[in-house]
């Protein structure tokens, strides 16, 4: 009994003032992920890495848009999205107060425009992703002509690329030579 009283006196007041005063979290605390739409290129790497399916990506071909979304109600704050993001567009913050009055408020979205294919004109990839890849491979092009060729390549949709490749192969001398030799 004496030991107990001593311990109680030694402790003093253990209660903290939270929520009336802020509470300090550790330096690298993993809290609410914040999305910087300005940095995001809608590449969807984070949506693949997310174990909880909190991150999603939906394409609306008709409207020519792609919508990125995060559901804070599903998020497990593992930070895999931050690890895989190539453009530093999503970061975990120390914020742990996520309560909302309306459930729908847990979902945040960002809408990105899709770029049309230079060949067929149909939207195929986010404008910002195309621009990002273009800048990246242009920078390493050996000549201006090569850079132009690469720009065209990136701005063409996969379907058109395939059709184009097929046309080229069909028209090439090698194929004709093979056909005649048979």
Partner 1 sequence: MHAPTATPDAARVGSDTIAALRLKLPHAVLDESWQTPTQATLTVKLDELPNVVSTLYHEHDGWLSVMAGNDERTINGNFALYYALSMEGAEKSFIVVRAEVPAATEEFPSVTPLVPAAVWHEREVRDMFGLTPVGLPDERRLVLPDDWPDGLHPLRKDSMDYRLRPEPTGDDETYQFKNDAKGETTVVPLGPLHITSDEPGHFRLFVDGEDIIDADYRMFYVHRGMEKVAETRMGYNEVTFLADRVCGICGYAHSVAYTTSIENALGIAVPARAQAIRSVLLETERLHSHLLNLGLACHFVGFDTGFMQFFRVREKTMTLAEMLTGSRKTYALNLIGGVRRDILGEQHVATLRLIGELREEVTRLVEMLLATPNLEGRVKGVGILDPGIAREYSPVGPTVRGSGHRRDTRVDHAFAGYGGVAMPVNVGDGCDVLSRTLVRVSEFFDSLSIIEQILADAPGGPVLTEDFTYKPHKFALGFTEAPRGEDIHWSMTGDNQKLFRWRCRASTYANWPVLRYMLRGNTVSDAPLIVASIDPCYSCTDRVTVVDVNKASSVTVPYKEMERYCRERTNSPLK
Dmax over CA atoms of the chain, in Å, equals 105
The answer to whether residue 22 forms part of the interface with partner 1 (CB under 8 A) is no
Per-residue binder mask for partner 1 (CB under 8 A), 86-125, x = binder: ------x---------------------------------
What minimum distance in Å lies between the beta carbon of 92 and partner 1?
8
* Contact window for partner 1 (CB under 8 A) among 78-86, 113-121, 134-142, 162-170: 78-86
Integer Cα distance of 48 and 61 in angstroms: 20
> Which DSSP letter does residue 37 get?
T
* Contact window for partner 1 (CB under 8 A) among 19-27, 36-44, 54-62, 116-124: 19-27
Integer Cα distance of 135 and 177 in angstroms: 39
Residue whose CB is less far from partner 1, 4 or 101:
4
Compute the half-sphere exposure of residue 64: CA atoms within 13 Å on the CB side of its CA.
9
The answer to whether residue 21 forms part of the interface with partner 1 (CB under 8 A) is no
The set of residues, in sequence order, having a beta carbon less than 8 Å from that of 57 and lying 6+ positions away, is: 42, 44, 47, 66, 67, 68, 69
Among positions 9, 17, 20, 28, the unique one binding partner 1 when judged by CB under 8 A: 28
* Contact window for partner 1 (CB under 8 A) among 72-80, 115-123, 132-140, 144-152: 72-80
Element (H, E) at 171: helix 158-171
What minimum distance in Å lies between the beta carbon of 56 and partner 1?
14
The answer to whether residue 30 forms part of the interface with partner 1 (CB under 8 A) is yes
Q: At what angle do helices 158-171 and 173-181 cross, to 10 degrees?
A: 50
Integer Cα distance of 91 and 74 in angstroms: 17
Integer Cα distance of 61 and 142 in angstroms: 35
What minimum distance in Å lies between the beta carbon of 14 and partner 1?
5
Which residues of this protein are in contact with partner 1, per CB under 8 A? 1, 3-4, 7-8, 11, 14, 25-30, 51-52, 76-80, 83, 92
């Amino acid at each position: 009994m004496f030991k107990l009283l001593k311990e109680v006196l030694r402790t003093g007041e253990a209660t903290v003032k939270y929520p009336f005063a802020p509470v300090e979290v550790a330096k690298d605390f993993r809290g609410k992920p914040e999305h910087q739409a300005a940095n995001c290129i809608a590449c969807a790497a984070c949506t693949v890495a997310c174990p909880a399916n909190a991150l999603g990506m939906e394409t609306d071909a008709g409207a020519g848009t792609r919508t990125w979304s995060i559901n804070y109600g599903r998020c497990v704050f593992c930070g895999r999205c931050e690890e895989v993001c190539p453009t530093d567009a999503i970061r975990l913050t120390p914020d742990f107060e996520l309560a909302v009055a309306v459930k729908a408020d847990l979902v945040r979205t960002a809408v990105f425009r899709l770029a049309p294919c230079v060949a067929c004109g149909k939207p195929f990839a986010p404008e910002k992703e195309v621009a990002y890849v273009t800048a990246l491979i242009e920078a390493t092009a050996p000549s201006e002509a090569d850079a132009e060729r690469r720009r065209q390549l990136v701005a063409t949709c996969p379907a058109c690329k395939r059709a184009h490749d097929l046309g080229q192969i069909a028209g090439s001398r090698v194929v004709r030579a093979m056909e005649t030799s048979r």
